[in-house]
Amino acid sequence: MQKLEFLLRRLGTSIFVLIGVSVITFFIARVVPANPAALYIGPKARAEDIERVTKQLGLDKPLPVQYAVYMQELLRGDLGNSISTKRPITEELMGRIPVTLELLFSGMFIAVLLGVPFGVLSARWQGKPFDWMVRIISIVGVSMPAFFLGLIFQIVFFRNLDLLPLAGRVDSDLRFSDPLTELTGFILLDSFLTSNWVTLKDAFLHLILPALTLAAYPIGLIARMTRAAMLEVLEQDYIRTARAYGIRQYFVIYFYALKNAISPTLTVIGLTFAFALTGTFFVEILFNWPGLGLFTVRSLLNLDYPAIMGMTLFGATGYVLINLMVDLLQAWVDPRISLR
């Protein structure tokens, strides 16, 4: 019962936050710019266009009315049309979701796979060389601009070693020799499901550098927070009791301690998604990865204002939903949460 109440309360907060997010985006789109109509038309605005768009967007009406219209369109899933491609923005964004998610999930997967053990082991060997190594790795990870790390990877692994492809999702020749049937939009999954092994291998090789670039920041963040959480738990009385009973060290750490350090670690993983989400912008532009980030960056370059605002709302919504999922997951792994 308490769980259900928590779930409903948490859902309620998320809806409130989403409404707030739409208000802020509305303000940025309509109130902040000196001449929103001109921005909505793009760089080649003429006087009669501005008049037309002012009417069309209702910019001559009071703000609450404008917001109501804006919300109505939003609820219908209408974010307007992109200036540069002329297509509906919702369509543009939807088609690119799997492309970005494939990158985002791979990056976060690497980050969790490395970050959590790094944090746990450096807490176990506090003050030892391994702990120092992890400290340096995490500080370097959070200090490295993604757009620079990616360049270094490209110089080293493509130019110097010629080990991995420079950019793109898959070699363009494969489109003719081994065409891929699209099912989900995730190349790895699609090629696996259709037993297209050539494409699977190629797509995997293409994914390594972008995913690693994206993972650098989250690895640092996750490792240090896991370490802090583990150190806190390891000082608790019940751990000392477990040790006094002669329970083996690795059992104490991986079974008793890790279980209670998971909750703060989950919070950080949720938080890192925000960094990873904006990280994809830089990674996608460097590696020519045709996802949401590349679309956003192109929109920025082309002054495609409706597309930028659509992406802002979209990105924030995605982030709110990820945080909601993290919270629910936390309540599920840590029963103490729902009592608060």
CB of 49 to other proteins, least distance (A): 19
Question: In three state form, how does the secondary structure of 99-168 look?
Answer: HHHHHHHHHHHHHHHHHHHHHHHHHHCCCCHHHHHHHHHHHHHHHCCHHHHHHHHHHHHHHHCCCCCCCC
225 contacts 265 by C-beta, under 8 angstroms: yes
Residues at the interface with other proteins (CB under 8 A): 16-17, 20-21, 23-25, 28-29, 32-33, 39, 135-136, 139-140, 142-148, 151-152, 154-155, 158-159, 221, 225, 228, 231-232, 268, 271, 274-275, 277-278, 281-282, 285-286, 296-297, 300-301, 303, 305, 308-309, 311-312, 315-316, 319-320, 323
CB of 271 to other proteins, least distance (A): 7
CB of 9 to other proteins, least distance (A): 14
Query: Which CA distances in Å does 200 have to 2, 184, 203, 210?
Result: 45, 14, 5, 16
Amino acid residing at 250: Y
Amino acid residing at 95: G
Nearer to other proteins, 112 or 311 (CB): 311
Nearer to other proteins, 142 or 205 (CB): 142
Give the separation between CA 169 and CA 189, rounded to whole angstroms.
13
Comparing CA positions, the residue from 207, 189, 191 lying closest to residue 199 is 191
CB of 335 to other proteins, least distance (A): 23
Nearer to other proteins, 111 or 308 (CB): 308
Nearer to other proteins, 25 or 196 (CB): 25
CB of 295 to other proteins, least distance (A): 13
Nearer to other proteins, 40 or 256 (CB): 40
Q: Which residues pair with 81 in a beta bridge?
A: 88
